[in-house]
Amino acid sequence: MKTVINIVLALCACALVYYCYASIMGPINFDNEKKIRDKVVIARLMDIRRAQQEYRMLHKQQYTASFDTLIDFVKSAKIPFVAKEGVLTDKQLEDGLTEKKAMAIIERAKKTGKWDDVKKNGLENFKRDTLWIAVTDTIFPKGFYADSLRYVPFGNGAQFEIATKSDTTKSGAPIYLLEVKTPYTVYLDGLDKQEIINLIDVQQKLGKYPGLMMGSIEMPNNNAGNWE
87-146 pLDDT, tens digit per residue, is 888 888 888 889 889 888 988 988 898 899 889 888 988 888 887 878 777 788 888 899
State whether 94 and 169 are in the same domain. Answer: no
Last residue of a domain, one of 88, 110, 136: 136
If asked whether residues 185 and 106 sit together in one domain, one would say no
* Count of domains for the chain: 2
122 and 63 in a single domain? The answer is: no
- 3-state DSSP percent of the chain in helix, strand and coil, to 5: 50, 20, 30
Q: What's the mean pLDDT in 166-172?
A: 83
The verdict on 172 and 210 lying in the same domain is yes
Res 16 pLDDT > 80: no
Whole-angstrom Cα distance, residue 139 to residue 125? 30
Q: Say yes or no: 131 and 43 in one domain.
A: no
So what's the pLDDT on residue 15? 52
According to DSSP, residue 211 is labeled: E
**Enclosing domain of residue 123:** 78-136
Model pTM above 0.85 = no
132 near 81, Cβ under 8 Å? yes
Say what the pLDDT of residue 21 is.
Answer: 45
pLDDT for residue 25 is more than 70: no
Contact 131, 83 (CB under 8 A): yes
Q: Are residues 89 and 71 in the same domain?
A: no
29 vs 27: CA distance, rounded Å? 6
Nearest to 73 by CA among 138, 164, 157: 138
pLDDT tens string 178-212: 999 999 999 999 999 999 999 999 999 999 999 99
Question: Is 199 in the same domain as 93?
Answer: no
pLDDT bracket for residue 18 (50, 70, 90): very low
Inter-CA distances, 132 with 51, 62, 144, 146, 180, Å? 16, 20, 19, 19, 28
Residues 51 and 147 in one domain: yes
What's the rounded Cα separation, in Å, for the pair 150 and 51?
12
Residue 163 scores a pLDDT above 80: yes
Same domain, 48 and 122: no
Is 68 in the same domain as 148?
Answer: yes
